[in-house]
Each structure stands twice: as structure tokens, then as C-alpha cells.
Structure 1
Amino acid sequence: MFRSIITTGASALALAIAAPALAEAETDDAVEVPTPTMSFGEWGFDTRYLSPDIDPGDDFFAYANQKWIDENPLPADQARFGAFDLLREKSTADVKAVVDELLAKPAAELTYDERRIVDAYASYLDTDAIEAAGLAPAQPYLDEIRDADTLAELVTLWGTPGYPSPLGGFVTVDAKEPTRYSVYVGSGGLGMPDREYYFDESEKGLSIRSAYQDYLGFLLSEAGYDAEMARKVYDFEDAIARKVAWDRTVRRNRDLTYTALTPEELGGLSESFPMAAMLAATGFDASDRFIVNDIPPSAALAAELDLDEETLEKIGGGTPAMLELVLDTPMEVLRAWTIKNFLSNNAAILPSRFDKANFAFYGTALRGIPEQRDRWKRAIAATEGMLGELLGASYAERYFPPESKAAMEELVANLRVALAESLEEIDWMTEATKAEAMAKLDSFDPKIGYRDNLETYEGLEIVAGDPLANVMASAEWSTADNLAKLGQPIDRTEWFMLPQTVNAYYNSTKNEIVFPAGILQQPFFGKDADIAVNYGAIGGVIGHEIGHGFDDQGSKSDASGALRNWWTDEDRANFDKLGDKLVAQYDQFCPLDDGETCVNGRLALGENIGDLGGLSMAYRAYKLATEGKEVPVIDGLTGDQRFFLAWAQVWRGKYREDALRAQIRQGPHSPTKYRTNGIVRNMDAWYEAFNVTPEDDLYLPPEERIRIW
């Protein structure tokens, strides 16, 4: 289980990573504006952005950020823009500087690795060649799909790298036996981001569904199908949403998403489905264990977990239901669904009409973005997707100084001390559970900047001028690399983010916290920034990731990374009561549709516990680091005030209304306004720092303030 400070685009392995929800939704039509910038002043926070006319006790987020928000309209190619996006733009530009130097070198002087980077980037960027080629590069793959006469032949393609499938799997560390790798499998198949989009009867929901049906019709018409087939493919996905898919809130429960099966038991989920053919194509037939993440719980497990009827209704039929649905669906519909997804997945490297149609739905209809991102930026992202650690090696060498790593190591060490002290003070946890928690804290493995043995992608051949061939080759290489883990010792050096990534994550099966070089810059970390700012910003991020090891789901893994209940029943009940209170607080934040669209506190619980515990740890660590020292007042602000302003600055930003709605519906992260206000209002030190009184909107009586870690 991977849990990150935000979410970006997720891969099969880095499941945790969700776009940060920013502040107030922007609804005005976008105009051409420059990419926003931020100033961090002399000590890490530019006081020019403070709004003295806003009472920090009424809206601390706006007090710290509203001036910047007002001064920086969203660029037309952005669904959101804030501190994370600021650094992502910088990271993209920094990587492009590396690529530009390679492009400027004579071809004869390029090394093999440099040539692969240049060819991958240039092939994606050459839209004239892509347009001239038409559908010819895709035709052999489309023909293979059309020529699949039997289900066994089609599922063989589904198991082949680069082809879409409504069923999927990957090799990763076994959650209950973290000394071995196992194959995880489950169902998917939806073209819209979540099953709820297929149910939503609101005006907005109907509009999105209509736009998706138009997009689906376009893709299938390009492949030679009529409107009736488009309707049948939509109906197939609608059946997945209604019969197969699980509600996102339920899928968070790790007690429900681990069912270990033998190969025989996996095959026994359906007597008629050609499982052997699919496993042979994937290479998973060599595995002796399969972890299915969406088998509905038995009556006994449901009773053991005390699942109520409302929760049970949110659990779909999962993989067993998917197998039966596939068997009940005509072959021509399954082939058309596969072709539709192949074209959609590769729209960016097909003729521009595909790219534009894809963006019109996934960019504009879903998230309200008026304009497509610059092609060169997407080319950088595509190259990183294939050869990211080759680029990361150059990035780290140029942009990550050794002193940053040393400072981070000190910060992490202080955060661990802070949590250890907090554990000792907790009055709702027994000594037996505290000992287990302390053992887990002691075994945390922090990773900072980048790994020493960066990937070289040996065997991945990149073809100049053929971006689709490169995507398929990369898929084949990545699949083989992932499959090679089976039967091998656990690789504890592996990372699931690139050095240039602006994010961080916690991985429960390895009990590790990972901070790529990309995030170790202002506003998160500055080598010359005020200590209070660094603790309030990157200290809070460090604490957030440590906190994921002790959130409602991460806390189900022990010091070794094993999914195991190490709690006494009483302690777990006390912990869950605190979580329920936090859920109730966040359920009251309703930013859209006249208060009708609210944050899902249950879906966001893990991230909110990470934020609350993380900032609490960071504050304690800041106090430990400054103990016995004189903390100056700077620009009229005390150290504690600067600490909390730094946390608010991390979440500075704004986004479009549609993007905010999508974030609330899909994302496990609360909107950033509430990642600021919802956290500080639970911390006594914030009340003291800003003289917050019962007359202020954010005020909570002391007995209602939640302290978990």
C-alpha cells in the first residue's frame, strides 16, 4: 500500500499517488495568462501575501494565501495551480534543459542512453510525422484484436503488454508475507474515472455521461463501427459499474482487499473463463499465489468486521462477477471495447483528431480545462514514463545538493523523536500496543533524494520516429521487469517515484518513507529558510508520510510490513472513535452546489490523519530543535506563527470548479483549503499563536479538538 502527500497520475505499482485539491474553484472563462510564480521572501514566506483584513481564526487558508490567489489567474492549460504545480513546472523545465543539451549534441557523439532519450522525446514531439502516418502504426495491433475469434485468443491479447484489459495484475510485495513477492489481480474496465459517473443523474452527471458517449462513439466510428456498437460498448461498461466495481470508500479497507488464492482456486472463480490462457500470456502462470483485491467478503468476514448494510451495498461483485460478465458479453462487443481503449490509451501519439477528442473529454468535460498542455511538456512526461531514471540521474546531479540530503536526514530524525515522545504520552493506548507502535517507528526506512542504483532500462530499444512502437516496447520491458521479481528476494532499494518527482510517499509493506529530490525545494524546503518554515512545510510533509504508517489503514501493518492486527481490541476501538470524529468534522466542509457537494470524510480519512498527525509531529519536532534557543520575531511574526503559515503556504493554490468536483468525488485527499483549516483548528498551539477565540469561525472548543498522534 502506497500513500502519498498528493496524487498524480498513478501507475499500476504506485497506486497511491491523487492530484492536490487546491483552494477556491475558478469558474470564469480562462484567458491567456502566464504561468504563476511565487516569492518566498528572505526567510521562506513572503509576507506581502498576507491578508490583514482576513481574521486568521475565520479562514486561515485565505489569510495566508488569498492575495496570491487573487493575483494569479489560472493558465488555460491547468485544472489547478498551486505550490506543487509550481515545482512540477520547474521540474519539467529542468528536465527539458537536460534533454535540450542532448538535442544540441552531434548525433555521432551521443551515447546509447542519450540516443534513446533523444529518440523517445523527438518521436513524441514530431506531430507532423504522426499526422502523416495516420492509423498505419496502430493498424497491426487493431487487426490482432479484430482477428481474435475466440475468448481464449482475446484474453491472450489482454494479457499481452500494451493491450487494454478489463482484468489486470502485477507483481509486488505480499502484504501479509512481506518477505516474498506475489501476484495481485483485480478488475477494472471503466472508461470514466469511477463507477459513480455511470449512476449520476444530476445535470452535471448527465452532461459528463453524454460527453463520454460522444467520445466513445468517435473512437469506434474511427475504427469502422456504427453507433449501435458504441451503445453496446457503453452498456458493457455500465454493467461493470453496476455489477462489478466497488465504491472507492470501501476499497480503502485493506481487510477487504486481500484474498489469497492458489492457481487452482483462481481458475475456479469461473469454470468457463479461459484463465489459463490469460495467465500464460502474462507470465503469471509461474506464480503459486494470487492476491485478488476485489472478492466480496464472506458472511463470516462481514460479521467479523461488523460491516453494516450500507457498506455491503457499496461492494460490487469484483473479479468473479467480471469473469461472468465477460462470458455473457458477445465477442464483437469485447473486441470493440478493446479497440476503443487501445485508441484512447494511445490518443496522444495518433493523429491530432484523437488527441483533441481525448482531451475534450478527459481534460475539458471532466476537469474544465480549456486548453491542452504544451506538446513539449507532454513529451517530457512521456519520455520520463519510458526512461525516467536515466533522466533522473542527470537531474539529481544538477539540482540536488548534498547539503539538502543532510538537512533532510536531520529533520526525519527529529520527527521520529517527536513521534516517540508523543506515543509515550498517549493516554488512550495500552502499553502493549505502544510497544508495537514504537517498534514500527524504530523500523521506518527513510529514503531521500534518489536511489543509488538508478535504473538503466537494459534491453529497452527505442525506435526513432515511431512513438507507438516505443510505447509498446516500454510496456513490454516494464512488464518483464515486474515479472522478474517473482521468486526473488525483496528489493529494498526500489523506488516508485523518479528523482524529479514533486511528491512523497509511504509504502506499508516495506515500512518506508520516500522523499524524491523534486519536492526538496521551496516552498517545502530551503537551505537558507527560517527553521520554523522548514519544520512547518517539509517537516509537515515528513510527518504526513510517517503518519500514513499510523493512519486508519497503514496502522494495519506491523513493523515488518505485514498486514497484521497488532492492536488490542480496546485500543483499536479508541483509535477508530478518534477517526470517526475526524470524519464527522470533514463531512461538514461543503464547497460546491450551495452546500450540497461535501468532502467525503471517510474516503479522505487516511490523508487527514496523515495531515493531522504529521503537522502535530512537526510542531513537536520544531520545539525540540529550538529548545533552549532564542527564537526571533521576524517581520512581526513569532516562530509559531511562521510555522503554521508555512503549512498554509504548502497548500496555496486554486483550481477550476469541475476539477474540484472531481477531486471530491474521486480523490482520497481533501481540498487544500481544508487540509489547512481542518488541521490547524485541531491544534492548541495554533489558537495561541493567532489568538483565536470562540467568536472565530474555525474555533473548536478544546474538548472537540482531535489529537491522534
Structure 2
Amino acid sequence: MFSTVLVRRLALASLGLGSVAAVAAGPPAKTKAKPVPPQQGIGINLANLDKSVAPCEDFYHYANGTWLKNNPVPAAESRWGSFNELADRNQAIEKRILVKAAAAARTAKPGSNEQKVGDFYAAAMDSVAIEKAGLKYLQPRLAQIAGLKNLAEIQQYMANPKSISTGWYGMGVGQDSKNSTVYAVQLRQGGLGLGDRDYYLKDDARSKAVRAGYKTYMTSVFQLLGDAPALAATNADAVIGLETKLAQASRGRVDLRDRIKNYNKVPVAQAVQDYPNLNLPLRLKDAGLAGAQDVIIGQPEFLAAVNTLLASTPIADQQQYLRWNLVSDVTSALPKAYGDAAFRFQQVLTGAKVQQPRWKRSLRATDGALGEAFGQLYVDEAFSPAAKARAKQMVENLRAAYAERIMATDWMSADTKKEAIQKLNGFAVKIGYPDKWKDYSKLKITRESALQNLFATSEWRREDNLGKFGKPIDRGEWGMTPPTVNAYYNSSMNEIVFPAGILQPPFYDPKADDAVNYGGVGAVIGHEMTHGFDDQGRRSDAKGNLRDWWTKEDNEKFTAKADMVGKQYDAFTPLDSVHVNGKLTMGENLADIGGLTIAHQAFLKTAQAKGGQKIDGFTPEQRFFLGWAQIWRANARPEYVRQQVQTDPHSPEQFRTNGPLMNMPEFYEAFGCKDGSKMVRATADRSRIW
């Protein structure tokens, strides 16, 4: 999802954290004469602990060490952890729903969600039909690209909303970050097949290997399309050369985090004058946006480079670039050879050993294409109204605790505290699933062709986005589907969102004690709340507008505390000489520290915390911190970790666990940690904002 709206997500890639937790789950559990046998999925599984590791030396491995030893990364995965385990359990439910929907779709009402979901999944699973179709449904689009003769025709192709994956740069409609009551047209950098500019520009061994793998992948695809080997390699070089020039003009991930720097609003007339080769009047007209008076440009220097390259790049090279963008985006619906080529490149990036089964890939495609139609079927089976009500109550418990922490800060002035409380009280809370579902009535899905279904959903999604312009802001819209194992904070909406998919063990377990739930989902809720006050989220006010509501002195104090966190995480090394990037991960690290702090504050109000009785030999506060650690347990392949550190705003899991704890005296006290222990930072080196 792109927009100048700041969307902060809790988890890695497609995985994440969520929110739910019960209001006090009853009276505190009493200490038993004999330890309760470990039970998987209920509270804390004692079998996962490694008591040969001292909790004050490395809490992550103390809490998860045996699990880590017993759960190597499966061959089809690049990482494996609690997020994956939950996603796997969710997928088992989703698969059952989809198989049933596919069988029922033939007799379902035409145009109904059941028909569309069932037929989409059935077509995606029909590998025989996909092989038989070959390039039949792709050929007309390839022929269209092959027929482009000049820049004017390139501009017409890019302006057509029905064109798929045009590359070059991104354009869409989203909230105006400085006026959150209206939608605005937004232009931003894009067009890189490798996603991150550093893969094109760095000369380290890994970057070179990624580029080599990318060229091999691209050459293979061009040969599958009919190019002779030498021509395929030449065409791949042309595309990579063009993408490298785009990379040179692109901002790095750290700079892209700066919300002020990436908000540049100009009149349409000015943009037309500055970037004549984009032919914005045509693109806006064909997109139904001719009435736009202004556009928000994320990275002006990038569009300037695109403007130059569109005129200077040979048309033949541009054709290969458009051809590559089209085909690489739909390999999942093309014959097996295309998917195999794509997977071989993914092996270079992530280290996965075997491709995931077709049903998992088809499931993800269905969720991505028809997420809210599919989501309705999912929540009917997997998420009850009672679970939603419990989650809402926990959010309010956390909100109250956050207000206390804000008012208790000794570094924030009264005026800034007042604004912060207004923003906290203004958080909109979305839990489980939308109150109003998306309308897919204009989207036609059949069993005839998985590829045609991809094209149809892409066009529908584009039309859905462009159609927002000029309409009131849809504050009920969701940026994730109900089955998603993740959560997010949206700055321009000033909302925190927790899909049903994340509201399951180990993040939230109705059978577990409050300590575990507050350490799990409670910290998740606090994490998303804290994104409203992290180094970028804090720049928006209670209404979601990008506005500086901080006093100069408070801003300086906050920045100093945040900088200290950045230095802490810079020092973490997940692999040999690979360091975490404290600036790239700043927002997530601040949210982890703040979220855990707030969750602990809220937990202290529960009957369990006040009772102080042990369960399985652990005090309530110890169980709280164990609940935190277990949601981050994960093993990952070295290739994945290297990619994560370079491109992901989230720190590797062991540092997401230990990093916040190293700043918390409450943790030291709970486990009796003494000065000099690895988990204990010197007082002058601790940083905790809330």
C-alpha cells in the first residue's frame, strides 16, 4: 500500500502482531502443589524454555531456546516462528473454506462473493488449464507493448488504467497528509524490480549475487517468451540498465521514512511544466482525475530523472522494460516454467529450499484479490463477536494506561501533553473485520483463466482507488484483510487496526492468564498505539494532519531519547559483520519499547498482578515478560536475515525481544538482574520515552 499516509505495521513482511486480550480473565490462578504439565498453546509452554541460559544474560534464548533448537526452518520457508505457526493454523482454516467454496461456486449465485471466491481459487489451482492456455491470455498485452513506436504511444500505454504494471513511477489516490479530510493525487518513486535501490548500487558480494540472480531470472523469462538466448540476455541487460538509472535517482529507505521530506504539494500546472515527458494531463484525464488542481509528489528528483529517461531511453529498451514488468507480476498464473524461474530467484533472496505448495500460493492470491469477500467467509468460522468485544476492552485498558504514562512523563511540557492526550483519545480502533465490506459487484471472476482473473482484479483495484478522488474520506476502509496475521497504525486516519487473523494464540489466548495475554497481544496493542508517537507518527495530530504540535524543547528531548535508541540497535549484529540499521528500524524499535511499557502498566492493574501468585513457578510479572518473548521466537535463514536488515524496518526477532527489556528496570526486578548482566544497561545508557 502506498500513500503519503504513514502506515506503520507491527510485523515482518506479511506477518505481524495483533491485538486482543481479555478483560481480567477471572481470579488469579493459585499456585499448585506440583507444576502443571506443559500445554501447547495455553499460556506459557515450559518445554520451550532453555534454562541453561540465564534470563539476565539472554532472555530471548532463555524463553525460547529449546523451541529454537527443535524447530528448524522448513524447506519451503525462509523463516519460521510464532507468526508462521499462527499463519499456518489460519491457512488450514482458510484452505477448508476455499475448497468448500470452490465446490459450491458452480451452483452459487452468479456474481456472489461465494462464486467469485470459489472460482478464483479453483482457477488458480487448475495447473492443467494454466499449462494448456500457455500465453493465450497474455499475448494480446504483449502484442500491445510490441506495437509501441514512440514516446507518445508509451505515454498513452502508461495512462491507460487497464495497463498492468507499467513501472517507471507510482500514481494513486490517498489522503492528503496535511489535510486528512480530502483525497489527493499522489506521485512517488517506483519501477524497481528488485524493490530496494541498494541492490543495484552496492558492490558487496551479496548485492552482486542478487543482481546476477536477477539477470538469470529475467533472461530465463525472456527466453520462455520466445527470445533467443543471446537476445534474451541483451534484453535483460537493457532492463537492468534502466532500472539501475532509476535506482540512482531513488531515495534510500531511511530517507523515505521522513514524512516532511516526502510531502511536496504542487499545482498540476507546475508538475506538467516540470515533467513534460510524463504527459500528466493525459494520465490524469484517462484516470478520471482531470479535476485535480494539485498533486503531492513524494520524491521530485526521482520524477525529474524519469522525465529525462523517458525521452532518452530507446523505445526498444522501454518495450522490454514494460514487457518485463507485465510478465514478472503474473508468473503465478502462467505455466509452471515461469513460476519455477521466479522461485529460483527467490532462493537467492531468501534461501528457501523448495517452493511452497500450490494451495498456499493460490490461497494467498485469493486473499490478495478478494480479501474482504474471502474475509467474510473466514470470520464467520474463525472470529466471534465475543472475541471482538474482549479485544475492544483491552484496547481501552491500554489507552487508559497510556494516558497515565503521558501525564507522568517528566520531560514533556503541559501544552504538548494536552495535544498528546487529544491524539490518544482520538485513536479510531478497528478490530477483526470491517463494519462495511467492500463491494465487488463490478468485478467479474470466472474459472476460465487464472491469468484473466488477475488482470480483472488489478483493474478493479485500480478503479476502486482512483474512484475515491473527490469523495468523502472513507474512514471505514481497511488496509489489511481479516485473515491477515498482522496489525497496523495509519497516521492520516489516526487509527489502530487489528485483523481477526492475529487475534489467536500465542498473541491472544482466552484460556491463558492475563500476564501472558498482556505480554502478547497487550504489547501489540501498545505497539500500534506507540506508532502514533514514534519519530514519524508523532508528526501528525489528533485529526491525522501532518502538523508540528510539539514545543521546541519537547522536540529536542524526544529526539535525544530516540537517537539513543538508534545507537542501541546499531550495535546489534544478527550475523557476523551485519549490523541492524538503527535509523531504518527506529519507528518499530520505539513502538516495541513503548508498547511493552504501556502493556506492563496496564497489566499491573489486573487482579493477577495484584495477587502476585505464581503459576508454574513464575510470578505474574515473569509470565508477562515470557509472554512477550514467546511471540518473537523465530529461526531464519542467513539469506533472509541479510535481506531483512537491508530492507525491513523491523529488527530481527531476538533484538525485538531483548532490546526493549534492556531498557526496563521492571524486567530487571522481575528476574533479579544485577548491574553488569548483559540484559541490564547502565542507567545513563537506557532510553525509554513513555
Q: TM-score, normalised by structure 2?
A: 0.93
Secondary structure, in 3 states, of the residue corresponding to 1:321?
Answer: helix
Aligned residues: 659
Equivalent residues of 1:18, 1:669 under 8 A apart: no
| Letter of the structure 2 residue corresponding to residue 647 of structure 1 | W
1:601 aligned residue: 582
Asked if 1:229 is matched to 2:213, the reply is: no
Q: Are residues 1:353 and 2:337 paired? A: yes
8 A Cα contact 1:525 1:537, kept in partner: yes
The separation in 1 between residues aligned to 2:357 and 2:499, in whole angstroms, is 25
Question: Of 184, 187, 190, which residue of structure 1 is paired with 2:186?
Answer: 184
Following the alignment from structure 2 to structure 1, what is the Cα–Cα distance between the partners of residues 402 and 17? 28
Cα distance in structure 1, aligned partners of 2:327 and 2:430: 38
Q: What is aligned with 1:264?
A: 269
Which residue of structure 1 aligns with residue 31 of structure 2? none
Q: Comparing 195-204 with 685-694, which one deviates more in the overlay?
A: 195-204
Deviation per CA, 1:548-600, whole angstroms, max 9, x where unpaired?
Answer: 000000000000100000001111011000000000000000121x2x21000
Q: Which residue of 1 aligns with 2:96?
A: 97
Cα distance between partner residues in 1 of 2:444 and 2:609? 59
> Does 2:641 match 1:660?
yes
Q: CA deviation digits over 1:82-114, x for unaligned, max 9?
A: 111111112222111112222343833556322
Q: Which amino acid aligns with 1:5?
A: L
Counterparts of residues 9-48 of structure 1 (less than 5 Å): 9=14, 41=40, 43-48=42-47
1:321 equivalent to 2:302? Answer no
With over 3 angstroms needed to count, the CA separation of the structure-2 counterparts of 1:18 and 1:384, relative to structure 1, is same
Q: CA deviation at 1:220?
A: 2.6
1:643 corresponds to which residue?
624
The answer to whether 1:87 aligns with 2:86 is yes
Aligned with 2:659: secondary structure? helix
Give SS of 1:488's match. coil
Q: 1:699 to 1:109 in 2, by over 3 A?
A: closer
Q: Secondary structure at the match of 1:624?
A: coil
For the Cα contact (< 8 Å) 1:152–1:277, is it kept in 2?
no
Choose from 383, 386, 390 the match for 2:369: 386
- How far residue 383 of structure 1 moved from its aligned partner, in angstroms, is 1.2
Matched AA of 2:684: E
Tell me the residue number matched to 1:35.
Answer: none
Check the 8 A contact 1:414/1:621 in 2, yes or no: yes
Partner of 1:574: 557
Q: Go from structure 1 to structure 2 and tell me whether the alpha carbon gap of 1:511 and 1:384 turns closer, same or farther (over 3 Å shift).
A: same
How far the C-alpha of 1:695 sits from its partner, in A, is 3.4
- Whether the 8 Å contact between 1:40 and 1:523 is mirrored in structure 2 is no
* 1:266-415 map, 5 Å: 266-295=271-300, 317-361=301-345, 363-415=346-398
Contact 1:122 1:465 in 2 (8 A): no
Cα deviation, residue 193, structure 1: 2.4
Alpha-carbon distance in structure 2 between the residues aligned to 1:541 and 1:572: 26
> Which amino acid letter does the alignment assign opposite residue 157 of structure 2?
L
Query: How far is the alpha carbon of 1:43 from its aligned partner?
Result: 4.5
> In the alignment, what sits opposite 2:23?
none
Q: Residue 206 of structure 1: CA displacement?
A: 1.6
Hey, what does 2:452 align to over in structure 1? 469
C-alpha separation in 2, matches of 1:522 and 1:487: 42
The aligned counterpart of 2:57 is 58
User: Does the CA-based 8 Å contact 1:102-1:110 persist in structure 2?
Assistant: no
Query: CA distance change for structure 1 residues 69 and 133 in 2, over 3 Å: closer, same or farther?
Result: same
Q: Does the CA-based 8 Å contact 2:224-2:338 persist in structure 1?
A: no
Q: How does 1:493-532 map to 2 (within 5 A)?
A: 493-532=476-515
Report the Cα offset of residue 323 of structure 1. 1.5
Q: State the match for 2:471 in structure 1.
A: 488
Amino acid at match of 1:541: V
Question: Could you give the per-residue CA deviations for residues 306-361 of structure 1, whole angstroms, max 9, x where no partner exists?
Answer: xxxxxxxxxxx311222112221111101100101111111111111111111111
Structure 1 counterpart of 2:104, one-letter code: K
Contact kept? 2:17, 2:485, Cα under 8 Å: no
Cα distance in 2 between the residues matched to 1:51 and 1:465: 53
Aligned twin of 2:254: 249
Q: Which amino acid aligns with 1:665?
A: Q
User: 2:17 and 2:544 mapped to 1: Cα distance?
Assistant: 26
Instruction: Give the RMSD, CA atoms, in angstroms.
Output: 1.8
TM-score by length of 1: 0.90
Q: CA deviation at 1:81?
A: 1.0
What is the CA-CA distance between 1:203 and the residue it aligns to? 2.1
Aligned twin of 2:27: none
1:58, distance to aligned residue in structure 2 (A) = 1.1
AA paired with 2:648?
Answer: G
Name the SS for the 2:52 alignment partner.
Answer: coil
1:480 & 1:463 partners in 2: Cα distance? Answer: 19
**1:94-146 Cα shifts (integer Å, max 9, x gaps):** 11111222234383355632221221111111111111221121100001111
Shift of 1:42: 7.5
Maintained 8 Å contact 1:8/1:19:
no
Q: Does 1:697 align with 2:681?
A: no
2:439 alignment partner AA: T
- Given that 1:18 and 1:668 are in contact with CA atoms closer than 8 Å, whether structure 2 keeps it comes out as no
**Is 2:155–2:278's contact at 8 Å kept on the other side of the alignment?**
no
Local SS of the residue matching 1:446: strand
Specify whether residues 205 and 628 from structure 1 end up closer, same or farther in structure 2 by C-alpha distance, changes over 3 A only.
closer
Structure 1: 4+ residue segments shifted above 4 A? 17-20, 39-43
| Separation (CA, whole Å) in 2 of partners of 1:40 and 1:236 | 56
**Superposed displacement of residue 425, structure 1:** 1.1
Q: What is the aligned partner in structure 2 of residue 33 from structure 1?
A: none
| CA distance in structure 2 between the partners assigned to 1:127 and 1:141 by the alignment | 22
Residue 179 of structure 1 aligns to a residue whose secondary structure is strand
Q: 1:652 to 1:40 in 2, by over 3 A?
A: farther
Unpaired segments ≥5 residues, structure 2: 1-5, 19-37
**Residues 529 and 595, structure 2, Cα contact 8 Å, conserved in 1:** yes
Structure 2 partner of 1:561: 544
Q: Alpha carbons of 1:702 and 1:457: their partners in 2 closer, same or farther (altered >3 Å)?
A: same
Pick from 217, 230, 235 the counterpart of residue 215 of structure 1.
217
Cα deviation, residue 262, structure 1: 1.6
CA gap 1:50/1:183 in 2 versus in 1, 3 angstroms: same
CA deviation digits over 1:448-492, x for unaligned, max 9?
111121123111001222111111111111111111111111111
Q: Could you say what secondary structure the match of 1:99 adopts?
A: helix
What are the within-5 Å matches in structure 2 for residues 39-188 of structure 1? 41=40, 43-105=42-104, 107-109=106-108, 112-159=112-159, 160-161=161-162, 162-188=164-190
SS of structure 1 residue aligned to 2:172 = strand
Q: Residues 152 and 278 of structure 1 are in contact (CA less than 8 Å); yes or no, is this contact kept in structure 2?
A: no
Amino acid at match of 1:650: I
CA distance in 2, matches of 1:337, 1:607: 35
